[in-house]
């Protein structure tokens, strides 16, 4: 699950300016790698409009990352002045103070129109800079209570992978940083390009669910649960406009209803009905981004039946309406392709 709040507006021009990732002594290696993998690798197949990338050191070197890796940055905090997106890849500790020059540089970049993004505990840096006051935000579930205690001015959103509040975006756990990075690609370049990057990373283009499924719980064995359902899930995804009742799903899987629920829960973390709604909402997102179909036609194509039903489920999952969501993306070119 995600939260998108388009009322603050998307910084469309930000995509054309560099993505700058912060580096510091004690750097969180995994989160840093997530940002580098999505934005920092050369991708000539994406054309000349792909991201430019730089690493900004927040302090003099040498900078030592977790695991003993040393990082050589492209420059200092001056790089934030021309950035379109600034990413804080975690923070060296929730009790570690955030330097005021860093806070000032983040505030200045935000004032100039940059998107400010945090991954995992990086939310503490955004909060220290005052950028989360009055905004929805999230972080890893282990740090949630401490973040709220220290920064009561923000509106903490539990059980989501990331929150998009326009020009301030926060991801939950470390791996949720990849979800948020792919979301930015989707915002900037559309669903097709984001899906291509996800395939390169061998990741789902958009994960369903939220942090609750990862909190101190056992890890189920998915081989038995998922293998029998996989063909059914593929059939449903290819025909979301059809009437998929629980009875039909059970019959197609050659399972009883009780067994179907058990298999779905083990394989997806969701009930059959919840999984179906999530898939339909995801299809609606793609159609809203990539087409100008009237919203009632989008609803019909996704199996919701009516625009009112689509709006209900879309708002419940994404906290916005289909029309508002569509308005955050550029209109598709008339020539297609």
Inform me whether the pLDDT recorded for 177 exceeds 60: yes
218-330 CATH pick, 2.60.40.10, 3.30.450.20, 1.10.10.10, 1.10.10.60:
1.10.10.60
First to last CA, the chain: 30
Question: Between the CA atoms of 298, 299, 305 and 306, what dihedral angle is there, to the nearest 10 degrees?
Answer: -110
User: Residue 85: phi, psi to the nearest 5?
Assistant: -140, 130
Let me know the angle formed at the C-alpha of 109 by 104 and 115, rounded to the nearest 5 degrees. Answer: 125
Tokens of 35: 């940002």
Q: Per residue in 99-136, pLDDT tens?
A: 999 999 999 999 999 999 999 999 999 999 999 999 99
The tokens 């909060």 sit on which residue? Answer: 127
Rounded-to-integer distance, Cα 141 and Cα 282, Å:
25
pLDDT value at residue 207:
63
Inform me whether the pLDDT recorded for 263 exceeds 90: no
Assign 163 to helix, strand or coil. Answer: strand
Q: Per residue in 29-39, pLDDT tens?
A: 999 999 999 99
Rounded-to-integer distance, Cα 332 and Cα 291, Å:
6
Domain ranges within the chain, ordered by starting residue: 2-201, 218-330
Q: Per residue in 5-51, pLDDT tens?
A: 543 333 445 666 899 999 999 999 999 999 999 999 988 888 888 99
pTM listed for this prediction: 0.65
Q: Which residues contact 329 (CB under 8 A, 6 or more apart)?
A: 187, 190, 288, 289
In angstroms, the Cα distances linking 100 to 94, 122, 188, 248 are: 16, 15, 31, 60
For the residues of 57-123, what is the DSSP string, one character each? Answer: ESS-S-EEBTTS-EE--SB-GGGGGG-SEEEEE--S-TTSPPPHHHHHHHHHHHHTT-EEEEEGGGH
In angstroms, the Cα distances linking 6 to 265, 318, 323 are: 32, 10, 11
pLDDT value at residue 221:
36
Tokens of 80: 């934030």
The tokens 């059809």 sit on which residue? Answer: 242
Residue 56 or residue 337, greater confidence: 56
Let me know the angle formed at the C-alpha of 181 by 176 and 162, rounded to the nearest 5 degrees. Answer: 45
Q: Per residue in 197-248, pLDDT tens?
A: 888 887 766 665 555 434 333 333 333 344 568 788 889 999 999 999 999 9
CATH number of 2-201: 3.40.50.880
Angle between helices 222-237 and 257-268 (to 10 degrees): 100
User: Residue 164: phi, psi to the nearest 5?
Assistant: -110, 105
Rounded-to-integer distance, Cα 130 and Cα 73, Å:
26
Buried b (16+ CB within 10 A) or exposed e, 130-143: ebbeebbbbbbbeb
Tell me which of 87-96, 149-158, 171-180 is least confident. 171-180
Rounded-to-integer distance, Cα 324 and Cα 326, Å:
5
Let me know the angle formed at the C-alpha of 333 by 328 and 334, rounded to the nearest 5 degrees. Answer: 135
């Amino acid at each position: 699950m995600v939260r998108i709040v388009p009322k603050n507006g998307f910084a469309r021009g930000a995509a054309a300016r560099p993505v700058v990732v912060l580096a510091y002594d004690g750097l969180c290696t995994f989160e840093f790698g997530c940002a580098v993998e999505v934005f920092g690798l050369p991708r000539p197949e994406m054309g000349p409009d792909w991201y430019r990338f730089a690493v900004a050191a927040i302090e003099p070197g040498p900078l030592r990352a977790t695991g003993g890796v040393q990082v050589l940055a492209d420059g200092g905090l001056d790089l934030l002045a021309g950035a379109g997106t600034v990413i804080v890849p975690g923070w060296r500790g929730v009790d570690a103070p955030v330097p005021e020059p860093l806070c000032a540089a983040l505030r200045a970049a935000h004032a100039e129109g940059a998107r400010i993004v945090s991954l995992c505990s990086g939310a503490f840096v955004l909060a220290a800079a005052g950028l989360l006051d009055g905004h929805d935000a999230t972080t890893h579930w282990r740090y949630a209570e401490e973040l709220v205690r220290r920064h009561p001015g923000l509106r903490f959103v539990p059980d989501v992978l990331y929150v998009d509040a326009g020009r301030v975006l926060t991801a939950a756990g470390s791996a949720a940083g990849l979800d948020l990075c792919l979301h930015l690609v989707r915002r900037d370049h559309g669903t097709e390009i984001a899906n291509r990057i996800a395939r390169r990373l061998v990741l789902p283009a958009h994960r369903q669910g939220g942090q609750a499924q990862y909190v101190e719980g056992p890890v189920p064995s998915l081989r038995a649960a998922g293998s029998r359902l996989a063909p059914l899930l593929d059939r449903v995804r290819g025909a979301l406009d059809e009437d998929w009742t629980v009875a039909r799903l059970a019959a197609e899987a050659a399972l009883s209803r009780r067994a179907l629920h058990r298999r779905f829960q083990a394989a997806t973390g969701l009930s059959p009905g919840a999984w179906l709604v999530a898939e339909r909402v995801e299809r609606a997102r793609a159609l809203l981004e990539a087409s100008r179909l009237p919203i009632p036609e989008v609803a019909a194509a996704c199996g919701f039946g009516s625009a009112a039903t689509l709006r209900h489920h879309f708002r419940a999952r994404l906290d916005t309406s289909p029309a508002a969501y569509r308005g955050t993306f550029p209109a598709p070119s008339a020539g297609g392709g």
